[in-house]
Each structure stands twice: as structure tokens, then as C-alpha cells.
């Protein structure tokens, strides 16, 4: 029993286009809101949180809806097709509204404002206030921008759960950690392509640039991913083959739609599911509190360059994906996740002792460990969450997983920010992350279901078998 890597990569093209979108979205939307509309960071941050808020409600909804759909193109493919096209059209439309607002800003000669004797910080704030005053004189472009932004976010939310659920749909249970590693790598490739586009278009060097050309290029990458997906992925056939193989290997006796639709979780399975989701929420709170504010902490508290350390963490995660998937197939997902949690917690614990007097190079191994720990957790956590699902409700369980993670990403900056203001960022930053990651270790220890049995040889065939 071996993973079909080509098939997994093709299924991952849906995640490829999703990650391409979010890389572009996170890069330019905050710049537009601040530089072109003059919104303060609080208001800009509130608008940027809309995607997580919508995701909490929409991801489980559309995941569950896709479970109930049955078309000649499959359960998930129609959502991916319609959602992607709608998102592309709305995303390009968003830049046209921004171009109108930018023309107003330029007509008012705000970019030509003279700095004079003002400090850089005071000058930036003065220009922002002039821009905000212009926006408030005629708020219709801002209203249109936010409404269109909501359309973009809703379109993206309609197919994220169906897209992610497709991997377990077509992959037998023991191979899902390996497959998830490939899916993550495919998604990362989409993000890297958009980063390269950002360098080509110099999106970080011109506060008053028009982003239409850049977004059209990003949408072309998304469309390319969609076309590859549509012309190569045979969803219904691959789902059927997965079920037949699962039955042949006695991995899951409940692969049929009829049996899975009526199946109820046992008390123990339900408890394990809740503990898995609690663990997901806890380690996301700990991890997101660090990654979302590290640029501020590194710049204001440590005096470090934050970019390179974050690149190191991402590189360590990328290198770890496939080895982690292989290891989990040998020792089991739960043990692998617990090891990853300990690695991540230890990295954050060391971070508590790093000060502005510490050589910056010391931070590099800390983030290497954090990247490896996060990859170890991330590759295995989603397969574990959907392990208790059957063929007819994988989308619903995918939605549960994303509800836990997205809710955590909403809570993390609020909880950590409150403590930063109350006690001080220097004393709370890494400590907060350490504590919540260790909380997830405790909850994960009590999980009894959802694991996979380590790979074992069966006669001459060397078949992996499932633990359930």
C-alpha cells in the first residue's frame, strides 16, 4: 500500500490556489486600508479579522453541505469551481474600487505632502489622517470596498472545507498524514509563487501603487491551479477506488454512503473528537500569538530583524513536512503530535530568556525548532480530526477542524494583547505561547481515538493497517 503522490499533488492544486490567494490578500489588503483609505490600525485590524470570523460559521456549513451534494463531477469539485471563479472576479473588482479611491488621494496631492521637520512616525501619521479625512468626506468607496471584500471572503469560504476534505475522500486512512504533508507542500508552492510576484511588482516599495496588475497575475495563478485540478482530478472515480481499497484491506467497514450517513460516534469517540478540537484550538492560540505579533516584539522589544527568523521557521517547516508524514506512519499520529508539541513548547520556552542583549543569531535555532514542531503538529492534526469521519461526513468534520483553528486565531490576539497591556509584552510574549501549547499537550494525552496504527508487514504485501 503506497501513496499515489501524483494524484495527491493534483488534488492539492485546490489548496495551491487557496494559499496563492491568501498570500496576496495578506500582503496588499492591510496596505490598501491604511495607505489608500487612511484607516487606523485598530479599524484595519478589525476588517482583516473578518475572514476568521466568517470562517468560524461558514467552513463547517459548506463542509457539511458538500457532504450532501452528489453530482457527476463529485461532491467537492462544484464548490471549488464556483467559489474560485466568484473569488477571482470579486478580487479583481476590489482593485478597481481601490484605483478610484487612489485617484482621489492623488488628486488631493496627499502623496506630495512635505515632511518638513516632522519625524518619520509623525509624518506617516499626518499623511494617514489627511487620507482618512478625504475618505470620510465621501465614504462610498470605502463602503463599496468593504462590501466587495466580504463577497471575496464569502466566495473563498464556500470551498475551503470542500477542497481540504477532498484529500481524505480519496486517500485511505493510514496514508492521510503523508498525503497531508504533500498537500501542505503544494499549498506552500502557491504561496511562494505569489511572493515572487510581489517582488516582481514591488508591492512593498510603493505606498500608492495600483494593485490591479498584481492581482490579475495572482488570479492567473489561481486560474491555472483550477484548470489543472478540473482537467486531471477524477473525483468520483478516485473516491470509489479509495472505498474499494479500504474494504479490500479491511481498513474501514463503513465506507458506503448508507452506513456512514446513519453512523453515530460512540461516547469515547465523541470525547476524543472534542479533545482533538480543544488541542487544535489551544496550540493555535499559542502559535498564532507568537507569529502574529513577532514583528512587533522583535522590532520594539528585542531590536531584531524579524523577516529572516520567520523565513527560517517556514523553511524548517517545509523541509519537515514529508519526513514527519513518514515518521507518523511508523509510530502513529498521536505520538508524533505530542513530540511536535514538546518541540514547539521548548522553542517558546527558550524564547523567554532571549533579551535585546542576546546575539540575534541565537533566535535562529529557536525558530528552526518552532518550524519543525509546528510542521509535526500540522501534518498530523487534520488527518486525526477526520479519522473518526466516514465517507459521507468528511466535509463536516473538516469544518469542525477549521472552526476550532479559526476561532483560536480570533481569540489569540485578543487574549495575548490584553495581557501585553496589563503586564508588559516583554514578560508575556513567549510565556503566553508556551503555556497554551503545553495545555494542548495535556488535552492530546487523553485522546483515545483517531490515531493510525504504525506501519506493519502483512505477509509478502507489507500492508499498512488502521488502528480503528
Contact, 66 vs 395, CB < 8 A? yes
Question: Quick one: pLDDT at residue 457?
Answer: 43
Task: Let me know if 196 is exposed, middle or buried by CB neighbors in 10 A (0-12, 13-18, 19+).
Answer: exposed
Q: What is the pLDDT of residues 396-423, one digit of tens each?
A: 888 888 889 888 888 887 788 788 878 8
Question: Quick one: pLDDT at residue 418?
Answer: 81
Task: List the end-to-end C-alpha distance of the chain, in Å, as a whole number.
Answer: 17
* Topology given in CATH for the domain delimited by 1-251: Growth Hormone; Chain: A; (1.20.1250)
Question: Quick one: pLDDT at residue 295?
Answer: 64
Do 1-251 and 260-468 come out as alike in CATH topology?
A: yes
Contact, 66 vs 165, CB < 8 A? yes
Where b means 16+ CB within 10 Å and e means fewer, 314-348 reads bebbbebbbebbebbbeebbbebbbbbbebbbbbb
pLDDT band at 271 (very low <50, low <70, confident <90, very high): very high
Assess whether pLDDT exceeds 50 at residue 318: yes
Neighbours of 448 (CB within 10 A): 11
Question: Quick one: pLDDT at residue 209?
Answer: 87
Q: What is the pLDDT of residues 46-79, one digit of tens each?
A: 787 788 888 888 888 898 898 888 899 999 999 9
Pick from 366, 23, 404: nearest CA to 190: 23
CA distance 66 to 232: 20
Contact, 80 vs 415, CB < 8 A? no
Tell how far CA 5 is from the center of its chain. 22
Q: What SS3 string covers 290-331?
A: HHCCHHHHHHHHHCCCHHHHHHHHHHHHHHHHHHHHHHHHHH
CA distance 55 to 398: 12
Question: Quick one: pLDDT at residue 259?
Answer: 45
Question: Quick one: pLDDT at residue 221?
Answer: 97
Pick from 402, 456, 19, 374: nearest CA to 225: 19
pLDDT band at 286 (very low <50, low <70, confident <90, very high): very high
Q: What is the pLDDT of residues 80-114, one digit of tens each?
A: 999 999 999 999 999 999 999 999 999 988 888 87
Among 1.20.1250.20, 1.10.260.40, 3.30.450.20, 1.10.3720.10, what is the CATH number of 260-468? Answer: 1.20.1250.20
Question: Rounded mean pLDDT of 105-127?
Answer: 83
Neighbours of 262 (CB within 10 A): 9
In terms of pLDDT, which residue wins out, 465 or 208?
208
Count CA atoms closer than 13 A to 124's CA, side-chain side: 10
Neighbours of 368 (CB within 10 A): 19
**Domain locations along the chain:** 1-251, 260-468
Question: Quick one: pLDDT at residue 74?
Answer: 92
Question: Quick one: pLDDT at residue 232?
Answer: 96
* Sequence-ordered list of residues with C-beta below 8 angstroms from that of 174, at least 6 positions apart, any chain: 1, 251, 329, 452, 453, 455, 464, 465, 466
Mean pLDDT computed over every residue of the chain: 85
Question: Quick one: pLDDT at residue 263?
Answer: 61
Assess whether pLDDT exceeds 50 at residue 462: no
Amino acid at each position: 500500500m503506497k501513496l499515489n503522490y501524483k494524484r495527491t499533488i493534483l488534488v492539492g492544486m485546490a489548496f495551491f490556489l487557496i494559499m496563492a490567494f491568501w498570500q496576496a490578500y495578506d500582503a496588499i489588503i492591510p496596505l490598501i486600508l491604511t495607505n489608500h483609505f487612511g484607516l487606523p490600525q485598530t479599524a484595519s485590524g478589525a476588517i482583516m479579522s473578518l475572514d476568521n470570523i466568517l470562517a468560524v460559521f461558514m467552513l463547517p456549513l459548506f463542509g457539511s453541505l458538500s457532504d450532501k451534494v452528489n453530482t457527476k463531477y463529485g461532491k467537492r469539485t462544484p464548490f471549488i469551481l464556483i467559489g474560485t471563479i466568484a473569488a477571482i472576479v470579486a478580487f479583481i473588482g476590489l482593485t478597481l474600487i481601490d484605483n478610484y479611491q487612489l485617484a482621489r488621494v492623488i488628486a488631493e496631492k496627499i502623496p506630495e505632502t512635505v515632511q518638513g521637520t516632522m519625524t518619520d512616525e509623525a509624518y506617516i501619521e499626518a499623511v494617514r489622517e489627511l487620507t482618512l479625512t478625504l475618505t470620510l468626506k465621501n465614504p462610498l468607496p470605502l463602503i463599496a470596498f468593504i462590501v466587495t471584500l466580504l463577497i471575496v471572503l464569502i466566495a473563498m469560504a464556500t470551498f475551503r472545507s470542500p477542497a481540504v476534505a477532498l484529500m481524505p475522500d480519496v486517500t485511505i486512512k493510514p496514508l492521510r498524514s503523508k498525503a497531508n504533508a504533500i498537500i501542505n507542500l503544494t499549498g506552500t508552492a502557491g504561496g511562494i509563487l505569489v511572493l515572487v510576484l510581489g517582488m516582481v511588482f514591488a508591492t512593498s516599495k510603493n505606498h500608492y501603487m495600483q494593485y490591479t496588475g498584481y492581482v490579475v497575475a495572482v488570479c492567473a495563478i489561481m486560474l491555472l491551479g483550477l484548470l489543472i485540478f478540473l482537467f486531471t482530478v477524477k473525483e468520483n472515480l478516485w473516491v470509489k477506488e479509495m472505498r474499494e481499497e479500504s474494504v479490500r484491506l479491511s481498513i474501514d467497514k463503513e465506507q458506503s454512503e448508507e452506513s456512514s450517513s446513519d453512523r453515530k460516534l460512540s461516547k469515547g469517540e465523541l470525547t476524543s473528537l472534542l479533545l482533538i478540537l480543544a488541542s487544535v484550538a489551544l496550540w493555535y492560540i499559542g502559535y498564532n500569538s507568537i507569529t502574529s505579533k513577532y514583528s512587533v516584539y522583535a522590532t520594539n522589544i528585542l531590536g531584531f530583524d524579524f523577516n529572516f527568523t520567520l523565513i527560517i521557521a517556514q523553511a524548517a517547516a517545509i523541509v519537515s513536512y514529508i519526513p514527519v508524514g513518514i515518521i507518523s506512519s511508523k509510530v502513529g499520529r498521536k505520538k508524533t503530535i505530542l513530540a511536535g508539541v514538546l518541540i514547539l513548547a521548548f522553542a517558546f520556552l527558550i524564547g523567554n530568556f532571549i533579551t535585546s542583549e542576546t546575539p540575534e543569531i541565537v533566535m535562529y535555532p529557536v525558530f528552526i525548532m518552532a518550524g519543525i514542531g509546528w510542521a509535526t503538529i500540522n501534518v498530523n492534526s487534520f488527518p486525526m480530526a477526520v479519522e473518526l469521519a466516514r465517507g459521507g461526513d468528511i466535509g463536516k468534520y473538516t469544518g469542525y477542524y477549521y472552526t476550532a483553528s479559526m476561532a483560536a486565531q480570533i481569540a489569540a490576539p485578543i487574549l495575548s494583547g490584553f495581557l501585553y497591556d496589563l503586564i508588559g509584552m516583554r514578560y508575556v510574549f513567549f510565556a503566553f505561547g508556551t503555556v497554551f501549547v503545553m495545555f494542548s499537550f495535556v488535552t492530546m494525552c487523553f485522546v483515545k481515538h483517531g490515531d493510525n496504527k504504525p506501519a506493519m508487514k502483512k505477509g509478502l504485501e507489507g500492508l499498512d493497517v488502521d488502528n480503528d
